Amino acid sequence: MTRLSVNINKIATLRNARGGNLPDPAKAAVDIERFGAQGITVHPRPDERHIRYSDVRTIRPLVTTEFNIEGNPIPSFRDLVAEVRPDQVTLVPDAHDAITSNAGWDTIANREFLTEMCSRFKALGIRTSIFVDPCPEMVRGAALCGADRVELYTAAYAEDYPEDREKAVKPYLEAARAAKEAGLGLNAGHDLNLENLAWFIHSIPWTDEVSIGHALISDALYLGLEKTVAAYLAEIRKK
C-alpha cells in the first residue's frame, strides 16, 4: 500500500509566527505517527522560516516509522543529513528564497552533481529520491544519477484535476511507467489533498509514498489532526 508521509513544516510555521514552542513540531511528529501515518517529512531551509535544523535533530530520534528530509543539497543541508541519517533524503532544487518548491530537477543538465549527491548519501545508508517534473526523460535521468526513487512534482496534476482528472494524471502515469521500467521507486507530492489523492493512487497504484503537508495541516484546522490523518489514509486505501 502507498505510504503516507506527513510534512510537518506548517506546524513549525505556526510556531515561528508567535515564538516559543507552541505548537511543538516534535510532539506533532510523534502524534501523527500514533494516528497512523507511516512517515514524517521535514524540509529545512537556510532561513529556517519553518522547520529549523535544531528541530530536525530533535525529531530524528523520535520517529519510529520513516524519516524523510527534503531540500536543496547545499553544504549545510548535506552536513545535517550526514549527521542525523534519515531513512530517506529527497533532493529538491529550490532556491533559498522560494516560498515553496516550484520545479523538479533537470537530471540531464545536473547529472554530475546529482550523481555525486546520490553516491554521497547512499554511502551513508540513506535512500535517495530526486524531485522531478512528470517527464519520462527526467525520470530516466534520475536513474542514471544513481537515485533509488523519484518524487513526482504534482502541482500541475492538482491544478488540472478539477477540470479533467484523466488528462491531469496522464503525464504522471507516463512518468511513473518510466520509473518502473528504470527500476526506480516512486514517490509523489505537492498540493495533493482529500479531493485529488484517491484518483492519483487509483491511476498509479505502484506509488510507494505520498508526501503531504500544506493541505493536510490546513484540513486539520477543521477536522482535528487525528481525524485528518485517518481521512488521508482512507483516501489512499480507496484504490
Catalytic residues: 43, 70, 190
158 vs 17: CA distance, rounded Å: 28
b/e string for 46-79 if b means 16 or more Cβ within 10 A? eeeebbbbebbeebbeebebbbbbbbbbeeebbe
Note the Cα 32 to chain centre separation in Å: 15
Give the separation between CA 68 and CA 51, rounded to whole angstroms: 13
